[in-house]
């Protein structure tokens, strides 16, 4: 049974940034120990850091306004970015003999939901580190207004993840949300109105994780755990032979082929169980795997099709309850559902919960519990928005095997009502942070401000260019 929010809560308030240099210095001092004890990261390296050093110098001398857009494959990313700014940039500045003022830091945008599951301390800490809370599922006017103001007038640059959330894939980037591009154009607009000459740039930053030593044994153990929980046994020798014969790349090792067969079997078993779950108990009509209509589909393609149909059904279950239309991308639908659930749990129409009668409180609690349950379906979908069914097959690296297996662990753990954020660590990792080429927003201003249609198209084009730039940083 999933863990539920069973009681109505007061309105979800905006958490304003209250940057405190003392808190920052303490956290930067503690950072190496936090990375060592809270993550599986052994080493963090930077490529093209001199580009970021140069931009910080331009920012501090009043030549540019800067927002950094980073890839967000892992929950460890904040540790890596903090290390980049606290250690790698100062080291690069000293090496280049570039004088930079302290602190070398950035205001950052974070999901308002993080303090809900991590605890109130997270909101307090993020605020003191200069964080700006954003509600992802609605137009958060106060959060956006604060980010816009700091982008134009803040003493620190901004940093944000244009994907909006982690997707668990080191080599797949989710479709970007347009917020960073829009913030860029708003910043240019505000600078023009103020008669200021700074240029506005977006800097793409790539983050990739690699295992120091390939943890094949730990992966095998995790797969065995998942197979046990799912009620299936490991792949047999005949299954292993079948994968080796059918796979187009003869360079696969016996271990890779065997793990791939087990991963497929586990995925197929879980998918079948979930299809039955939504068909039987939520009365969803699932389109069966395409056979007669498109017999050329491979097993992987049929699996991917079934998965997408299942994800759509899970979202429909929640959307039907909240009265929402199924429109937009899967990510768009998840964001709207999250906000609809929050609206039922964190009631803005009830300012003083203590003024409710016991009967009114009971009804409000029932609505909150039901909304929490319906959001559970959306949470299942969130973990699988970037799953293609081809990821491991195309490139059977330990990283891709691990990422896919850990996504299955997330799903199985959430279904059991356990903590999905307590992911197991398979082994020590090293991190590569790659600084990309800055994208000028100011150079696109004339096109943006021509008319409403061109403004919308300019945001779309800039978002797509940023997506392409981040994809180019995957090594």
- List helix spans (H) across 231-253: 237-246
Q: How confident is the model at residue 238 (pLDDT cuts 50, 70, 90)?
A: very low
Tokens of 343: 């609206």
Predicted confidence band of residue 296 (pLDDT cuts 50, 70, 90): low
How many beta carbons lie within 10 A of that of residue 422, not counting itself?
Answer: 7
Q: What is the pLDDT of residue 243?
A: 39
What is the per-residue pLDDT for 406?
96
Q: Determine the average pLDDT of the residues in 210-232.
A: 95
Confidence of residue 419 (pLDDT cuts 50, 70, 90): confident
What's the pLDDT at 138? 87
Q: What is the pLDDT of residue 249?
A: 65
For the residues 4-22, what does the mean pLDDT come to? 93
Contact present, 430 and 198 (Cβ < 8 Å):
no
Tokens of 199: 């240029």
**Which domains does the chain possess?**
21-212+428-472 (3.40.1130.10), 216-415 (no CATH)
pLDDT at residue 236 above 50? no
pLDDT tier at 234, thresholds 50, 70, 90 = low
Q: How far apart are CA 463 and CA 457, in angstroms?
A: 10
**For 171-178, what is the mean pLDDT?**
94
In total, the chain counts a number of residues equal to 475
Q: Contact, 285 vs 320, CB < 8 A?
A: no
pLDDT for position 197: 96
Q: What is the mean pLDDT of the chain?
A: 92
**pLDDT for residue 4:** 75
Q: Is 285 exposed, middle or buried (0-12, 13-18, 19+ CB in 10 A)?
A: exposed
Q: Which residue has the higher pLDDT, 241 or 326?
A: 326
Taking each helix axis from N to C terminus, what angle separates 398-415 and 216-230, rounded to the nearest 10 degrees? 30
Side-chain-side CA neighbours of 420 within 13 Å: the count stands at 22
The CA–CA distances, whole Å, from 358 to 249, 330, 366, 404 equal 66, 39, 12, 47
pLDDT tens column, 248-294? 467 888 899 999 999 999 999 999 999 999 999 999 998 755 544 55
pLDDT of 307 reads: 92
Q: What is the chain's alpha carbon radius of gyration, rounded to the nearest angstrom? A: 24
What pLDDT sits at residue 297? Answer: 63
Read off the pLDDT of residues 422-460 as tens digits, 9 standing for 90 and up: 899 999 999 999 999 999 999 999 999 999 899 999 999
Q: What integer pLDDT is reported at residue 31 of this predicted model?
A: 98
Sign, CA dihedral 8-12-13-19, equals positive
| Residue 435: per-residue pLDDT | 98
Work out whether the CA dihedral 245, 251, 256, 260 comes out positive or negative.
negative
Grouping H, G, I as helix, E, B as strand and the rest as coil, residue 391 is: helix
Q: What is the mean pLDDT of residues 52-72?
A: 98
So what's the pLDDT on residue 298? 67
Q: Answer yes or no: is pLDDT of 246 > 90.
A: no
- Between 313 and 239, the more confident residue is 313
Least confident span in 80-94, 173-187, 329-343, 376-390: 376-390
pTM over 0.85: yes
Q: Find tokens 């991190």 and name the residue.
A: 431
Please classify residue 228 by burial: count the beta carbons closer than 10 Å to its beta carbon, then call 0-12 exposed, 13-18 middle and 19+ buried.
exposed
Given a cut of 60, is residue 323 above it in pLDDT? Answer: yes
Over the stretch 102-134, which tens digit does the pLDDT of each residue have?
A: 999 999 999 999 998 888 999 999 999 999 999
The percentage of residues in the chain with a pLDDT greater than 90, rounded to a whole number, is: 80
Give the mean model confidence (pLDDT) for residues 404-417. Answer: 93
């Amino acid at each position: 049974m999933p863990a539920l929010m069973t009681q109505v809560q007061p309105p979800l308030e905006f958490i304003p940034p209250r940057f405190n240099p003392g808190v920052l210095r303490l956290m930067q001092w503690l950072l190496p120990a936090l990375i060592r004890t809270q993550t599986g990261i052994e080493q963090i390296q930077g490529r093209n850091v001199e580009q970021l050093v140069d931009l910080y110098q331009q920012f501090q001398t009043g030549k540019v306004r800067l927002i950094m857009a980073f890839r967000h494959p892992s929950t460890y990313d904040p540790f890596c970015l903090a290390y980049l700014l606290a250690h790698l940039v100062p080291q690069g500045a000293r090496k280049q003999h570039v004088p930079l003022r302290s602190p070398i830091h950035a205001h950052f945008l974070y999901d308002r939901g993080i303090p809900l599951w991590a605890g109130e301390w997270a909101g307090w800490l993020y605020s003191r580190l200069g964080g700006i809370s954003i509600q992802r599922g609605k137009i958060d006017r106060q959060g956006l207004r604060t980010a816009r103001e700091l982008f134009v007038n803040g003493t620190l640059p901004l940093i944000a993840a244009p994907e909006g959330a982690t997707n668990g894939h080191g080599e797949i980037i989710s479709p970007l949300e347009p917020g960073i591009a829009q913030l860029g154009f708003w910043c240019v607009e505000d600078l023009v109105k103020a008669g200021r000459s700074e240029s506005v740039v977006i800097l793409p930053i790539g983050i990739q994780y690699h295992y120091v030593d390939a943890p094949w044994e730990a992966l095998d153990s995790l797969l065995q755990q998942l197979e046990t929980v799912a009620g299936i046994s490991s792949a047999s020798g005949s299954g292993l032979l079948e994968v080796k014969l059918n796979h187009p790349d003869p360079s696969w090792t016996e271990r890779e082929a065997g793990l791939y067969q087990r991963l497929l079997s586990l995925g197929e078993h879980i998918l079948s169980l979930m299809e039955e779950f939504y068909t039987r108990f939520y009365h969803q009509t699932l389109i069966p795997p395409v056979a007669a209509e498109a017999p050329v589909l491979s097993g992987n393609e049929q699996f991917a099709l079934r998965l997408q149909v299942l994800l759509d059904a899970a979202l429909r279950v929640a959307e039907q309850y909240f009265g929402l239309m199924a429109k937009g991308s899967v990510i768009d639908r998840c964001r709207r559902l999250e906000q609809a659930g929050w609206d039922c749990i964190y009631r803005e129409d009830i300012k003083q919960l203590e003024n409710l009668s016991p009967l009114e409180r009971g009804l409000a609690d029932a609505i909150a519990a039901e909304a929490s349950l319906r959001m559970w379906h959306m949470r299942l979908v969130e973990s699988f928005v970037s799953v293609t069914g081809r990821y491991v097959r195309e490139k059977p690296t330990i990283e891709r095997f691990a990422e896919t297996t850990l996504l299955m662990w997330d799903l199985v753990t959430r279904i059991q009502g356990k903590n999905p954020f307590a992911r197991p660590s398979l082994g020590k990792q090293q991190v590569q942070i790659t600084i990309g080429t800055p994208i000028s927003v100011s150079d696109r201003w004339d096109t943006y401000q021509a008319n409403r249609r061109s403004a919308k198209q300019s945001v779309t084009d800039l978002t797509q260019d940023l997506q392409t730039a981040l994809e180019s940083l995957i090594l």
